[in-house]
Amino acid sequence: MTILFAMGILGMTLYLAATLYTSKDSAPDENVSAVPKASEPLQSPPLQAKPVQQTPVSAPLQQTVIDEQKGTELNIQAHQLITERRYVEAIPILQQALKTFPRNSTALAYKFVLYNLGHSLRRVGRAKEAVPYLEQCIKMDPAWEKAHSELQIAVEATKTSE
């Protein structure tokens, strides 16, 4: 099928070449044939080689991969602080980690950054700020009970602080 298609393209090309080289205003020259005979080699203008341009990997894509890795590393660092109950120190690290991911990322590490940030904010008495992070975390993984529990605690804390 591919060969038939290529032959069809070649035939069309030869037909178009013949019509381009044969003008209505001039009588065809008996010595010049617009379509070469089978015994004559095809002559075409020399091809000029164009340099092949290599398309570099887009900078945003490279940056995202590098940043997500950095965000994961920052989350691990912050999680260590959280296990030591050093929430105040963990918050700026988690905020920095959050910035390394594209908005609405689907990366698993992004979910944990959202959760850890929400959890840490709630633990230092900033429950109202924690709620949007926890809600976004739940949107990513609606079945994660731990995130639901943390959100419920944060919402209750906002009610008692008002």
In the chain (162 residues long), the average pLDDT of successive 10-residue segments reads: 45 44 44 45 54 48 63 96 98 95 90 98 97 97 97 95 72
pLDDT value at residue 22: 42
Q: Round to whole Å and give the CA distance between 99 and 143.
A: 25
Burial of 37 (0-12, 13-18, 19+ CB in 10 A): exposed
pLDDT value at residue 104: 81
Q: Round to whole Å and give the CA distance between 61 and 67.
A: 10
Is the pTM here over 0.85, yes or no?
Answer: no
Specify the long-range contacts of residues 144-147, CB closer than 8 Å, at least 24 apart. 144/111, 144/115, 146/115, 147/115
- Which of 2.40.50.100, 3.30.565.10, 1.25.40.10, 1.10.3720.10 is the CATH number of 59-161? 1.25.40.10
- How many residues are listed for the chain in this entry? 162
pLDDT value at residue 51: 55
Burial of 122 (0-12, 13-18, 19+ CB in 10 A): buried
Over its C-alpha atoms, the chain yields an Rg (Å, rounded) of: 34
Helix ranges (DSSP H) in the chain:
2-21, 59-83, 87-99, 108-123, 127-140, 145-161
